[in-house]
Amino acid sequence: MKTKKLGKKADSKMLSLWWIFVLAFAGGIIVIGVLIFYSYEADVRNAEASILSEKIISCLADEGRLNLEFLSDDFDIYSSCALNKKAIDSGFFIKIELRDEEGNVLKTISEGKQSFDADCNISGNENIRQADYFPRCSEETINVLQGVLYVKAGSNQQGVKGI
Amino acid sequence: MNKRADTVLVETVIFIALNLIFFVLMIVFVWHSGNSASVYEEFYAKKIALAIDSSNSQTSITFDIQKAREFSKAEDIIKIDSGNNLVTVNLGGKGYSFSYFSDYPVGVIINENMAVARVGEKK
């Protein structure tokens, strides 16, 4: 009878120890999960690329009319569209093309990180997830009197933690 | 018999109390992680930078910074460096900086729970 009582007590202690282990394990998993979740930053690269392409479109075309400065040889996209060269070179890409109705390129301008042009074409789909470190891009096309204006903008800007 | 019953009762109460403490601690940890200063530093820096990028010259943009004020009452929680095109938000965490590509000079005025970013003419 006594041995049975002792066995029950021992079982109870074992259960407590096991339960503490389960709680510690569950707690550890929750803590690690939360830390991983909040270590990821909000991805605004798509929004940035979209804003950049829309800004360029609104700067170069007004009510279907192309800003004729664009056709001149000394056209400067930075001063014309109020873009900062240092910022664009650090993590953005811009490609502007004026095409005729047959699709022939009449004029092209490419600024910022040139490697983004190819990287933008490696886009994710339902089967392939786009790598996190690849730039996010936006493409816009608008018809103007002189042809078709095509703008491609990409962003891969990362914020900086700590001052 | 009464002693045994008392012991079982005390053990059960301690067991339940410890479990409750554990779950409360977990909930507090998760809540605290989601509401830390560093999360809001990133949120405000990106929000302000995107708003500046979207705006035209001679524009004022007003931001509600009530949540940021819960972390810091300092006047310089938001800094905009027009020279380097950088928005920096420091709410008492490590701070967070995010750059904007617009080439307009931008200034910021903080008034209680509102921050007003003024976008000027071309540099």
Residue A143 lies in a domain: yes
Report the domain count for chain A: 2
Give CA–CA dist B116/B105, Å, rounded. Answer: 14
- Tell me the two tokens of residue B43: 């949120």
Q: Which domain holds residue A34?
A: 7-39
Do A58 and A99 reside in the same domain of the chain? Answer: yes
- Residue that has been written with the tokens 């811009």 in this structure: A94
Which residues of chain B lie closer than 8 angstroms to A44, CB-CB?
46, 50
Give CA–CA dist B86/B25, Å, rounded. Answer: 38
Q: What is the CATH number of the domain that holds A90?
A: 3.30.1140
Give CA–CA dist A44/B49, Å, rounded. Answer: 10
Q: To the nearest whole angstrom, how far is the Cα of B45 from the nearest Cα of chain A?
A: 9
Do A28 and A52 reside in the same domain of the chain? Answer: no
* 0.90 exceeded by pTM: no
Q: Quick one: DSSP state of residue B43?
A: H
Mean pLDDT of A59-88: 91
pLDDT digit string, tens, across residues A20-44 = 888 899 999 999 999 999 888 889 9
Q: How are beta strands B86-89 and B96-99 bridged, if at all?
A: antiparallel
Computed over every residue of chain A, the mean pLDDT equals 86
Q: What is the ipTM metric for this complex?
A: 0.81
B34–A contact, CB cutoff 8 A: yes
Do A50 and A30 reside in the same domain of the chain? Answer: no
Computed over every residue of chain B, the mean pLDDT equals 90
B38, B101, B121, best to mutate vs chain A, most A CBs in 10 Å: B101
Give the residue on A whose Cα is nearest the Cα of B20. Answer: A23
Its sign, for the CA torsion A41, A46, A49, A55, is: negative
Task: Give A93: exposed, middle or buried? Use CB within 10 Å, 0-12, 13-18, 19+.
Answer: buried
φ, ψ (nearest 5 deg) of residue B78: -120, 125
Q: To the nearest whole angstrom, how far is the Cα of B111 from the nearest Cα of chain A?
A: 23
- Residue that has been written with the tokens 């095409």 in this structure: A99
Domain boundaries, chain B: 1-35, 37-119
CA B60 and chain centroid, separation = 23
Do A78 and A123 reside in the same domain of the chain? Answer: yes
Give CA–CA dist B123/B51, Å, rounded. Answer: 18
Mean pLDDT of B38-63: 94
Chain A and chain B share a number of CB contacts under 8 A equal to: 86
B44–A contact, CB cutoff 8 A: no
Do A50 and A129 reside in the same domain of the chain? Answer: yes
List CB contacts of A138: < 8 A, sequence separation 6 or more. A46, A49, A50, A52, A53, A152, A153, A154
Do A136 and A122 reside in the same domain of the chain? Answer: yes
Residue A109 lies in a domain: yes
Q: What is the structure's pLDDT at A13? A: 62
